[in-house]
Amino acid sequence: MKGRRKKQKSVVEGCFIPPLDEPFGIVIFGASGDLTKKKLLPALQNLYRCGFFPENFFVLGVARTKMDDDEFRRGFKSQSEKVDEGFLKKLFYQVVDYTKGETFKGLKERLTALHKSLSTEGNTLFYLAVPPQVTEDIIDNIGRSSIKTPPGWKRIVIEKPFGWDLRSARKLNELLH
């Protein structure tokens, strides 16, 4: 029929994706980049809208670009057609220089405060949406700053490419294990 749009199916309709019932925080390194604004945050917002996230969760964007929580939220709003205000309230931002360990102390303090205020039990997913050249520095500084220590579980997701050749991929794999 001309002029009528077909009803679009949900991306997750028909898939078995259980809702996450455990509280957690997501830390996105490279948060000021296009991948985060155009792909990661919209995808996370869709999961939030579909009820896949628990009530107690947060997204902490981390990058070298200087901005605060409100600027980070405005940046996402400007890239997104529809913004869920409930999701926006879960977005936070922290400036970190990936190569300077002392800036990770501030990240640890911010994470500790967010975990406490939002009752996320220290559960953290680190998502690295950064070039391979800084991946090793980030992983090393996460370890040195004790961010990875309990309470809670910790996971690291590395956006491809995983290194820039076989040798660097193997080195990165050793660093992670």
Strand partners, 28: 61, 127
The strand pair at 124-128 and 57-63 is best described as unpaired
Q: Is residue 10 included in any domain, yes or no?
A: no
Q: Is residue 17 included in any domain, yes or no?
A: no
Q: Domains in the chain: how many in total?
A: 1
Q: Is residue 15 included in any domain, yes or no?
A: no
Q: Is residue 9 included in any domain, yes or no?
A: no
Strand partners, 60: 27, 92
How many Å apart are CA 73 and CA 60, to the nearest integer? 11
Q: Is residue 169 included in any domain, yes or no?
A: yes
Sort residue 30 into left (φ over 0), alpha (ψ -120 to 50) or beta.
left
Residues contacting 23, CB < 8 A, separation 6+? 54, 55, 56, 57, 118, 119, 120, 121, 123
Q: Is residue 108 included in any domain, yes or no?
A: yes
Contact between residue 83 and residue 75 where contact means Cβ atoms under 8 Å apart: no
Contact between residue 26 and residue 60 where contact means Cβ atoms under 8 Å apart: yes
Domain that holds residue 31: 27-176
pLDDT digits (tens, 9 = 90+) for 88-132: 999 999 999 999 999 999 999 999 999 999 999 999 999 999 988
Q: Is residue 3 included in any domain, yes or no?
A: no
- Looking up tokens 């977005």 gives 91
Contact between residue 55 and residue 120 where contact means Cβ atoms under 8 Å apart: no
Q: Is residue 119 included in any domain, yes or no?
A: yes
Q: What is the CATH number of the domain that holds 90?
A: 3.40.50.720
Digit-by-digit pLDDT tens for the chain (177 residues) are: 444 333 444 555 555 566 678 999 999 999 999 899 989 999 999 999 988 899 999 999 999 999 999 999 999 988 887 889 999 999 999 999 999 999 999 999 999 999 999 999 999 999 999 988 898 899 999 989 988 777 899 999 988 766 667 777 777 667 666
How many Å apart are CA 71 and CA 92, to the nearest integer? 10
Q: How far is CA 152 from the centre of its chain?
A: 17
Q: What is the pTM of this model?
A: 0.84
